[in-house]
Structures are given as structure tokens and as C-alpha cells.
């Protein structure tokens, strides 16, 4: 296969903004251009928050680590040929550094899209040479855009570099998208990825209240908090709800004596609404990136799959993202490798996502059994929790005089 090079586009398609000068106006302008198919400025804004925010970067890394940790090639049946193909893919993965490739593509969860160019060469394995990618180049985010191919077109086409994405042969370019691409429609880049939503809360954490208010004006969603005071009744609540919702599109509101409207501002005492909302914003950014809101409290709500976690991420969400990456790589990386070196496709890449062991949940189940009078093994419980038996009486930690391993839970 010839070494196809992704050509730099003729312009930056929307340009960039200086990270040190990001304002609500910049973000509003970036959103408008991204909605029109030119996400260059939006990507620069997202770059900025990814670099400086204490919640977005670590949360994204937790997600990426959970998915890349167990990446491996797998034979599709028990035949010797399938096993040989899996062995060859293992050698290709080491040369290509497939872990780094998957890790890079998963940034598309944040940006919405992420591209990489594959560079093909020869890979040696057990005395034979195989055609395969040996390295990859991360494509600049602003090289991904949409425009009309012809002036008469009624829709925009997705471009990667100077060429439409569909024009690249399988095995040349990988493009991870956080959702299915529309067919024959204008591409709105604000509809992909979680970065824009996370950036809204990051502005409150890293800038001032005026910027936060201006940002929400740019989004069309001003931040107003309504408070019901002591002695309120149903009529007060209804009136307050109307006032809060009315301020979303108007500057006038009617409230009762038993209600209050507040603007978010910092009074400097460390115990006010500003500080509490700062914490809310921090949790929101982590949840937007990692989708962990159903696992904050083991309350029994939601499906079992949703309650299980890995790296603090809901397993069902992590597995969904992993399946999207699997399909992309098996279609545009693994498939072309096998087609060029074998007569059939008998191996594939798998990205298994494993739930972290829920030790606390197991202990709670054991506690319920214990209170029901079901005999349990204390040795097994210690093995499950990792706590060994005490050495002697001086080493024994008990609560009260009775031996109750569940007391205090």
C-alpha cells in the first residue's frame, strides 16, 4: 500500500484564538463557527480548558485508562490460522503502539472528533514480513472541518485535511466520532463530544462571575437561583418558578414576600452560594466526562450495569465508548491489515472494560445475610476485604465487647 499523506488544508477554517484571551465572546463566536462546520476556534477553547482544568483532564484520563488497559488481539475461532493472525496482530500492535493510538483517538470523547494518519511499512514476525502500519501521526484538530464540495451542493461534507474523509482508503486515516455522522446533512460540530458542556462549568471555576454570566448569555441560559423562604406555600412556589423561568428570556420578574431571587456572586466569606456552586461545577465537569452520576451513592437506583464502576466511570458508558472504538479500528485498521496479508479475516481487536471489584457492596450483602442469621465464614470475609486476622489481643480492634464484624458499617 502506498504511503498516503494527509495534506494540510489551505486555511485554518475558522482560525484559532489565543488561549490567554478566551472570553465569552470568543466562545460564542467559536460555537457559531463550529455549528457552521468550522470548529477550529472551538477546538482551541477546548484545548485551553483541557490544559488548565483540574477536573476535566484527570476525568478524561480515567476514562481513557479504563478502555485502553486491556486492549488485545483475539482469534475469532479455534483454528490455527486464526491464532496465527492474532499473533501477527500482536507483533503489529507492539510496533504501532496500539495503546497510544487508542488513547489518542479517545480524546474524541472530549472534542467530538479525533483523527490519526496511519503510516504503513513492513513488520517482521517469525521470519516473515507483513504489510502493516508501523506508526501513526496525530492530526491537528483544526484539520477536521466541513464545507461544500461544490457550490451547488445543499449539504456540507466532512473533510480531514485537504480532502473529504470518504476519499481516503481504509487503512489510511482513522477518525473517531463521538456519535454517528449524519448523511447528506450539514455537520454541526457542537453536537459532538462533551467538551463544550464541560467548558461551561469550567468558565465559572477559572474566570469571574461576570464572565460566567456573559457565558450563559451566550448560551441563552442565564444563571438564576430561586429560594423559598420560611412560611412559603404552593402559590409562592408556583410564582417563584414562573419568575425563575421568565428570567431565562426576560429581565423582569414578579416574586412574593416569601421568595427570593439570587445572582451568583462571591461575598468572600467562604460559606455562601458561590462556594457551594463551585463544588457543584467541579462535580458536574467530572460527571459530564466520566458519566459517573449514578455511582456517587449506592442507592439502588438504576441498572446493575450502571451501578458498576471502573476508574470511577459507569461501566455501561465505558463499554459503549469502547465498542465505538473497536468498530472503527476493526473496520479501518485490522481489516486492511488482514486483507493485505491473509485470505480471510479471522482475528480482531477487542477492548474489554472490566468493572472494579465492589468490595463494599459485597460486605453489605454479607451484613444482610449476617443479620438474617445465615452462617458465614469469617476467613472468607477477611480474604475478600484483604484484612488478616489479628495477631493477639493487643492487636485486636473491636467495637464494644461483642465480636460483630459488621458493627459500624
Residue range 56-88, pLDDT digits in tens: 998 888 888 888 888 899 999 999 999 999 999
Domain count, the chain: 3
Buried residues in 64-75 as b, exposed as e (16+ CB within 10 A): bebbbeebebeb
Together in a domain, 26 and 129? yes
Answer whether residue 404 is part of any domain: no
Together in a domain, 152 and 298? yes
Together in a domain, 212 and 233? no
Together in a domain, 149 and 31? yes
Answer whether residue 400 is part of any domain: no
* Residues contacting residue 89 through CB under 8 Å, at least 6 positions apart: 73, 334, 337, 347, 349
pTM above 0.85, yes or no: no
Together in a domain, 160 and 45? yes
Residue range 324-364, pLDDT digits in tens: 999 999 999 999 999 999 999 999 999 988 776 556 666 77
Answer whether residue 408 is part of any domain: no
Answer whether residue 331 is part of any domain: yes
Together in a domain, 258 and 210? no
Together in a domain, 173 and 52? yes
Together in a domain, 292 and 385? no
Instruction: Examine the fold and report which residue of 207, 238, 262 is the final residue of a domain before the chain moves on.
Output: 262
Of the chain, the percentage scoring pLDDT greater than 70 comes to 70
Together in a domain, 168 and 65? yes
Answer whether residue 89 is part of any domain: yes
- Of 138, 133, 141, 178, nearest to 159 by C-alpha is 141
Together in a domain, 251 and 319? no
Together in a domain, 196 and 241? no
End-to-end CA distance of the chain: 62
Answer whether residue 103 is part of any domain: yes
Q: Print the domain residue range for 242.
A: 224-262
pLDDT confidence bin for 95, thresholds 50/70/90: very high
Answer whether residue 130 is part of any domain: yes
Answer whether residue 345 is part of any domain: yes
Together in a domain, 172 and 236? no
Q: What is the pLDDT of residue 389?
A: 77
Amino acid at each position: 500500500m502506498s504511503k498516503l499523506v494527509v495534506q494540510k488544508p489551505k486555511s485554518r477554517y475558522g482560525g484559532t484564538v489565543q488561549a490567554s484571551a478566551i472570553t465569552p465572546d470568543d466562545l460564542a463566536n467559536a460555537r457559531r463557527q463550529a455549528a457552521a462546520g468550522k470548529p477550529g476556534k472551538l477546538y482551541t477553547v477546548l484545548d485551553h480548558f483541557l490544559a488548565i482544568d483540574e477536573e476535566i483532564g484527570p476525568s478524561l484520563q480515567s476514562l481513557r485508562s479504563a478502555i485502553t488497559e486491556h486492549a488485545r488481539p483475539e482469534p475469532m475461532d479455534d483454528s490455527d490460522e486464526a491464532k496465527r493472525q492474532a499473533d501477527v496482530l500482536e507483533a503489529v500492535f507492539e510496533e504501532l503502539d496500539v495503546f497510544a493510538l487508542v488513547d489518542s483517538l479517545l480524546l474524541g470523547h472530549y472534542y467530538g472528533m479525533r483523527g490519526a494518519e496511519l503510516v504503513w511499512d513492513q513488520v517482521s514476525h517469525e521470519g516473515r514480513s507483513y504489510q502493516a502500519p508501523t506508526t501513526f501521526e496525530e492530526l491537528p484538530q483544526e484539520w477536521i472541518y466541513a464545507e461544500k464540495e461544490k457550490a451547488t451542493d445543499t449539504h456540507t461534507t466532512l473533510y480531514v485535511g485537504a480532502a473529504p474523509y470518504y476519499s481516503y482508503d481504509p487503512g489510511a486515516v482513522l477518525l473517531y466520532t463521538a456519535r454517528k455522522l449524519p448523511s447528506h446533512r450539514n455537520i454541526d460540530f457542537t453536537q459532538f463530544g462533551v467538551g463544550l458542556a464541560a467548558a461551561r462549568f469550567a468558565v465559572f471555576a477559572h474566570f469571574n462571575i461576570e464572565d460566567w454570566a456573559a457565558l450563559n448569555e451566550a448560551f441563552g441560559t442565564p444563571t438564576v437561583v430561586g429560594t423559598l423562604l420560611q412560611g412559603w406555600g404552593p402559590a409562592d412556589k408556583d410564582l417563584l418558578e414562573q419568575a425563575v423561568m421568565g428570567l431565562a428570556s426576560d429581565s423582569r420578574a414578579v416574586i412574593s414576600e416569601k421568595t427570593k431571587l439570587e445572582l451568583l456572586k462571591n461575598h468572600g466569606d467562604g460559606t455562601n452560594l458561590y462556594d457551594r456552586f463551585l463544588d457543584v461545577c467541579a462535580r458536574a465537569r467530572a460527571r459530564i466526562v466520566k458519566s459517573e452520576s449514578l455511582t456517587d451513592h449506592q442507592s439502588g437506583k438504576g441498572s446493575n450495569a450502571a451501578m458498576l464502576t471502573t476508574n470511577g466511570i459507569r461501566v455501561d458508558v465505558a463499554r459503549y465508548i469502547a465498542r465505538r472504538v473497536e468498530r472503527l479500528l476493526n473496520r479501518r485498521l485490522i481489516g486492511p491489515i488482514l486483507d493485505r496479508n491473509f485470505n480471510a479475516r479471522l482475528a480482531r481487536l477487542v477492548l474489554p472494560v472490566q468493572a472494579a471489584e465492589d468490595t463494599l457492596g459485597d460486605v453489605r450483602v454479607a451484613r444482610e445475610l449476617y443479620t438474617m442469621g445465615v452462617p458465614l465464614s469469617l476467613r472468607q470475609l477477611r480474604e475478600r476485604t484483604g484484612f488478616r486476622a489479628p495477631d493477639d489481643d493487643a492487636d485486636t480492634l473491636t467495637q464494644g465487647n461483642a465480636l460483630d464484624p459488621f458493627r459500624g458499617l
